[in-house]
Amino acid sequence: MARLPTTADVYNAIAEPQRRDIIDLLKKGELSVNEIAETLGMKQPQTSKHLRVLKEVGLVS
C-alpha cells in the first residue's frame, strides 16, 4: 500500500518555484503538459516530472 504524503512532502514539492508556477497556472483551468511547458518556457519532460511530483503529494490530479 502506498504511503500518504506528509506535510514535509508537500512543502518539499512546493519549494521548487516552477512547481508553484504550474499550480498558479492550473488554477485558471485544465491544460495539457505541452500547454503548460510552452506557457512557462519549460521542456515537456521537465514539466512532466514536476507534475508527477505535484500529483504524488495530491496537489494536482
Q: Report whether 37 contacts 46 (CB < 8 A).
A: yes
Domain boundaries, the chain: 7-56
Please write the tens of the pLDDT for every residue from 25-42. 999 999 999 999 999 999
Q: What is the CATH number of domain 7-56?
A: 1.10.10
Residue 3 has phi, psi (to 5 degrees) of -85, 150
Please write the tens of the pLDDT for every residue from 3-26. 899 999 999 999 999 999 999 999
Rounded CA-CA distance 30/21 in Å is 14
